[in-house]
Structure 1
Amino acid sequence: MAVVDLQLLVQTILYFCIFLSGFAISIPVGVNTIKFDGMCILYADFTKGDGISKFRMQSSRRANCNFPVYMSVFACIFYGLGLGCYNAYAVWKSRANQSFGSAMWIMPFILINSTLFVMLLINGCMVSVGYKVFCDQLKEYSDIFRCGDGKNIKWINTVTSNTFTTGDYASLLTVAQIASWIACLLFLLQVSLGTLRFYRNRRLRQSSSDRERIGNVEPTA
């Protein structure tokens, strides 16, 4: 039975988990924006209403919702799929050559994964804090006790005067929050494993060099 590089296999699985987490972030945030008639509720601002409505919600900047969507698509879905396939190929090659992993580029991916970890940390904070700001103000200006109860409110777009239903936005954003922090953790694990492989490969190369020097020394009489 062929033996594969275990660390490469773990990193491959993690990359495909990152790939899946991208969908769990982008789809809920995107669907939520559509459900709210194109308005972004992350960091949305509330004011007291007139005699017709209890409150008015002003959409925050679209960038507050676009950033998590685009970040998850490019950093998780595209990047995770690409690196997952690359590492899967490396795992397959390592069945025949256990030293294949030591020949792979390591440092560029450590730097990229470190950068993406920071970006996804920002992304997780934006989703979690933005949703909390929305919930706190919604409960303050309405009669609901739980943020998710807002799905029973009749919402009106003050710009277009269109009425709409929001659906279960609480569940959607809960999924997005969990997936954001999971993706952040996965990238942190990738940085740690990449660093471990970098030092392991350096020790292997050093050991190989030492053996070559010992082999080249001629015995003296």
Structure 2
Amino acid sequence: MNILGPAAKNLSSDRKFSAEVKGCNDEGQGSSPPFISWDMLRPAPGPSQLTAYLVTGSLQLRSKTWKDREKGSKMSCMYSVQMIMEITLLLVAFLSGITAAIAIGIVRDDFRGDCLIYAQVQYDTPNSFSVHANGTGPKCDFALSVQVIISMMAFVYALYKLIVFFTKRFDIPVFRLIILPIYCIMCFLALIEACLVTVGFTYFCKQLTQTPVRSIEVQCARFQQAHWNVYQGRNFYIRLNLACIGSWISFTCWLILVPMSIMVFVLDRRGTGPKPKEEPPSMPNSENIDP
């Protein structure tokens, strides 16, 4: 007769279990005893517990994804601002450079191929003078060539940046590496061309204003109304002045692009540079989890 009832059965089963474990230890002498954890004896989680685990993991993943998305939006905003500034500067450099080149070319055509940059002026009488532009042709050729080259470079790269900005494709990493020395070269050439045109134009105007009549001060702009004989001297001052302004604007744009390119290059090397906006990863939806 079983007086203890179910308790006796549980006691006997516990003794049997401990005996089996003891027997395993006796048989496994010379080897490490088996590791038995009470977690192994726990029942498997039910559907409600599994759903709670999945919901908790989904919330943690969503919180992390929101932080990544916020960080990515800031980087994307920096990327957009940097791209817009770079494209704007490139387009301004293109327009100002082309304007300077066209102005120099028109003045040269008006003076029958003679270059007024560093040209000599000789007064034959107090009311007549002659222009000697021998040897000044290469100076205008250099100014025209530099402005055409750097302007086309600015236009092509601005077009490439526009395609990358609107399509979020074709962003070739090697361009970020080679564009920095190219910007430096373009800036150096623009500086030389701007100095050449400005100083040469100032020298020509100084030659014009040094009239034999020293008591009369004549501004260079007034010589646009003079009779230039075989030349078309009208608006030469306005056009050469426009060429000087365009050259310095072009140089300023390239000068700003150089440190901007250095900053982007350094940030890219550190891995913290501005990146284009990317699509966020898909997150699991707790509502679609079957219990």
RMSD across aligned positions (CA) = 2.6
Q: 2: distance between equivalents of 1:197 and 1:101?
A: 14
TM-score by length of 2: 0.61
Aligned with 1:67 (options 134, 138, 142) = 142
Shift, 1:142, TM fit: 6.1
Change (3 A) 1:102 1:75: closer
2:157 counterpart of 1:87: no
- The equivalent residue for 1:174 is 241
Q: Which runs of 5+ in 2 are unaligned?
A: 1-75, 274-291
Aligned-residue sequence identity (percent) comes to 22
2:227 counterpart of 1:154: yes
The 5 Å alignment of 1:27-106 reads 27-49=102-124, 54-59=128-133, 60-76=135-151, 78-94=152-168, 103=173, 105-106=175-176
Aligned with 1:140 (options 210, 213, 238) = 210
2:85 counterpart of 1:10: yes
Contact 1:55 1:142 in 2 (8 A): no
Equivalences, count: 194
Farther-moved stretch of structure 1 (59-68 vs 168-177): 59-68
Q: Which runs of 5+ in 1 are unaligned?
A: 157-162, 207-221
The 5 Å alignment of 1:107-146 reads 107-141=177-211, 145-146=218-219
TM-score by length of 1: 0.79
Contact 1:5 1:101 in 2 (8 A): no
Contact 2:122 2:130 in 1 (8 A): yes
- The equivalent residue for 1:184 is 251
Q: Deviation digits for residues 20-45 of structure 1, max 9, x if unmatched?
A: 11221111111111112221111001
Higher-Rg member (1/2): 2
Contact 1:32 1:169 in 2 (8 A): yes
Contact 1:46 1:141 in 2 (8 A): no
